Amino acid sequence: MAEKTPAPLARFAWLSIATAIVTIVLKTVAWRLTGSVGLLSDAVESLVNLAAAAMTLVMVTLSVRPPDEDHAYGHTKAEYFASATEGSLILVAAAAIAWTAAQRLLHPAPLEQIGLGLAVSVGASAINLAVALVLLRAGRRHGSIAIEADGHHLMTDVWTSVGVLAGIGLVALTGWQRLDPIVAIVVAANIVWTGAQLLRRSALGLLDTALSPDERRRLVEVLDARRAPGIQFHAVRTRQAGARRFVSLHVLVPGDWTVQRGHALVEEIERDIRGAIANATVDTHLEPVEDAVSFEDQELDRSADRSRR
């Protein structure tokens, strides 16, 4: 099975860091030109992007290290720490944005140089959109939740910017200054949702969530293609850790088969599963189909099942 190498993932993390720095500068300039608290909230979120991208770089570099004596199943779960940190930082940024917006809501202030400020902010959003699309494709292609989460965060930043720009445009058209902080509060609420979703995905990953429905469907198709008289499967268990997938199952064959014949079958099954599910580590256990004991350990928690006997 081909392993990921640090270079591709680190390259995308560096791209995210560079993008965050550029957009922070542009959005800060836009805020200083206009005095818009909405644009300030946008700039604050870009600071979160920078911190998250740096964390992503560290974690994806760690995640591609090969298994060792202390981490026999690899280091891929490190990516969940990156996405969890990003989710936490997003929530902190949302609180800061909401506080600033509330103060401006109580004490409205006119916006200045709206046209120039909007032009600068649009440029920053265009950069974020282009990089977000790159990161989303890369995250899915490499099976990296950290890179994909970074892409989703940047895409959320794009939609946040669209909302802020719409708010400023409405202020320019209506003259109602309170629209600017109201939009900033809506932005903060949207950021909270994004942060909560990232924290949820990270928690599920750390809890050894099963493979996706699509991957489980492909696994079933592989096993169904191998079913034959005297050949059965049970105790099929799956989990994912970052880009790595883990599958374990029992293969039941006629008891009069030779060890060589049984071994050849499970090797073929493991090969087929790895071909259907990328980055999969497969463990099989060969059992005689005629032995009743072979059917006594089908429960998900085998250790608990045995302790009751």
Tens digits of per-residue pLDDT, 123-133? 888 898 999 99
How far is the C-alpha of 155 from the C-alpha of 135, rounded, in Å? 10
How far is the C-alpha of 286 from the C-alpha of 284, rounded, in Å? 7
How far is the C-alpha of 233 from the C-alpha of 236, rounded, in Å? 7
pLDDT at 41: 67
CB 80 within 8 A of CB 39: no
Weakest-pLDDT range from 37-46, 135-144, 201-210, 265-274: 37-46
How far is the C-alpha of 153 from the C-alpha of 49, rounded, in Å? 7
Local confidence band at 206 (pLDDT 50, 70, 90 cut-offs):
confident
The closest of 228, 199, 205 to 144, measured between CA atoms, is 205
Q: Which segments of the chain belong to CATH 3.30.70.1350?
A: 213-307
The closest of 96, 85, 93 to 199, measured between CA atoms, is 85
How far is the C-alpha of 168 from the C-alpha of 217, rounded, in Å? 48
Question: What is the CATH topology of the domain spanning 6-206?
Answer: Alpha-lytic protease prodomain-like (1.20.1510)
Tens digits of per-residue pLDDT, 217-249? 999 999 999 999 999 999 899 988 777 889 999
Q: Which residue has the higher pLDDT, 77 or 245?
A: 245
pLDDT at 44: 74
pLDDT at 107: 66
Beta pairing partners, 288: 253
Alpha-carbon dihedral angle through residues 203, 137, 68, 216, given to the nearest 10 degrees: 60
Weakest-pLDDT range from 68-82, 123-137, 205-219, 275-289: 68-82
The closest of 161, 168, 181, 193 to 100, measured between CA atoms, is 181
Beta-carbon neighbour count of residue 48 at 10 Å?
Answer: 23
CA R_g for the chain:
26
pLDDT at 257: 94
User: Given a cut of 60, is residue 3 above it in pLDDT?
Assistant: no
Local confidence band at 307 (pLDDT 50, 70, 90 cut-offs):
very low
Angle, to 10 degrees, between the axis of helix 78-106 and the axis of helix 145-174?
10
In the numeric block, which tokens belong to residue 53? 């991208």
How far is the C-alpha of 94 from the C-alpha of 100, rounded, in Å? 10
CATH (one of 3.30.70.360, 3.30.70.1350, 3.40.630.40, 3.10.20.30) for 213-307: 3.30.70.1350
Q: Which segments of the chain belong to CATH 1.20.1510.10?
A: 6-206
The pTM for the full model equals 0.58
Query: What is the H or E stretch that residue 166 is in?
Result: helix 145-174
Q: Rounded to the nearest 5 degrees, what angle is found at the Cα of 44, between the Cα atoms of 10 and 81?
A: 40
How far is the C-alpha of 301 from the C-alpha of 299, rounded, in Å? 5
